Amino acid sequence: MKRYTTVLTIAGSDGSGGAGIQADIKTITAIGCYGLSVITAVTAQNTRGVNAVYPVSEQCVIDQFQALVNDISIDAIKIGMLGNVKIIKTIAKLLRNLKSKPPIILDTILKSSSGTVLLSSEAINSLKGELFPMATLITPNIPEALLLSGIKTPLNTREAVEKCAMELIKTGCRAVFLKGGHGENNECCDCLVHDNLVRWFSSARILTQNTHGTGCTLSSAIAAYMAKGESIEEAIGDAKVFLNEAMHAGADYHLGDGDGDGYGPLHHCYRLWK
């Protein structure tokens, strides 16, 4: 009998389906893995922004996590929105006590795509202290990398990006994938620092308003490919292909009544709809 390859996503719920748990599970499924979830918060949001965030209790997180790991083998873990210090500390304790040691992909979500702050300064320090040392890979974008590293100068050269990624390595994580999607060039240039090596991944910028959940999608895709046994570099390369194709496919669709001011989702299931 075949065994599922599993990916556990620990993140917030996005009722609009573009980001969070919903985007994670769609991505994991589309790549051929079985998605499991621990919900850290329920959000009220749509294509125009986050209206409210309702964190769940620490006990709720513990019960969800234990119910899964006491029954199901976990091949990779993706961590997204955590919300507050208590949840971060709870997740860290659960992961420390986990007998198996699957790869952990930590998406450093500090703000929503629309600009809503999702993690306080105190919680950011807790994230760095508690979870960075456990992470196989962290995936900050440029604004997040600046905030997490404390660097004040713009990351507008490859040398500056590499220096920032190296600073983040010092916090204890094993690898940093610094995403360049917030840059202003026609090319998206992302930097991986891993085992004292630097590798750049480049792709053409896709002109689309439907970018809600790109970070969630990419980190989940990396986790799914690593669950299948790929190395960090291989998983990032394949995940970027998936993300770019999902963005291209989603550019032709419209969701919501934002009159052009909203950020629609990617087309996570484009491979299944052909």
Q: Is there a catalytic annotation at residue 60?
A: no
Q: Is there a catalytic annotation at residue 228?
A: no
139, 211, 240, 262: the catalytic one is: 211
Residue pair 88/131 in contact (Cβ under 8 Å)? The answer is yes
35, 215, 262, 264: the catalytic one is: 215
Q: Is there a catalytic annotation at residue 215?
A: yes
| Radius of gyration, CA atoms only, the chain | 17
- CA-to-CA distance for 149 and 193, rounded, in angstroms? 14
216, 217, 240, 264: the catalytic one is: 216
Q: Is there a catalytic annotation at residue 179?
A: yes
CB-based contacts of 2, cutoff 8 Å, min separation 6? none
214, 240, 250, 262: the catalytic one is: 214
Number of other residues whose CB lies within 10 A of the CB of residue 157? 10
213, 250, 262, 264: the catalytic one is: 213
Q: Enumerate the H helices of the chain as residue ranges.
A: 20-30, 58-69, 85-96, 121-126, 142-149, 158-169, 214-227, 232-250
Angle between helices 214-227 and 232-250 (to 10 degrees): 140
Q: Is there a catalytic annotation at residue 211?
A: yes
Tell me which residue of 43, 42, 37 sits closest to 25, measured CA to CA.
Answer: 37
Q: Is there a catalytic annotation at residue 274?
A: no
Residue pair 255/212 in contact (Cβ under 8 Å)? The answer is no
**Which amino acids are annotated catalytic?**
179, 211, 213-216
